[in-house]
Amino acid sequence: MAVALPIAEVRQKTDDELAAMLEERARERLNLRFRQATGELENTARAREARREIARIKTVLNERVKGS
């Protein structure tokens, strides 16, 4: 099981790194949804973790946009 992505770690990343992470997590989430739909996904909690990691990344990006 993957460890949740701490918000402090997300805040230390640059905007470019966050954009890359966001794209990677979105791709992973899509893959997880397909695997869950076909019944291949054993760890269903990972889909929820991926969704929350995406939310954390988007939150930090939005904070930076509104803060500057």
Confidence (pLDDT) at 17 = 97
Confidence (pLDDT) at 1 = 44
- Residue 53, classed as helix, strand or coil, is helix
Nearest to 48, CA basis, from 33, 59, 61, 66 = 33
Confidence (pLDDT) at 2 = 57
Residue 14 DSSP class: -
Mean pLDDT of successive 10-residue segments in the chain (68 residues)?
80 96 97 96 94 96 92
Question: Please, what are the domains in the chain?
Answer: 7-67 (1.10.287.310)
∠ CA(50), CA(35), CA(6), 5° rounding? 10
Confidence (pLDDT) at 19 = 97
DSSP 17-29: HHHHHHHHHHHHH
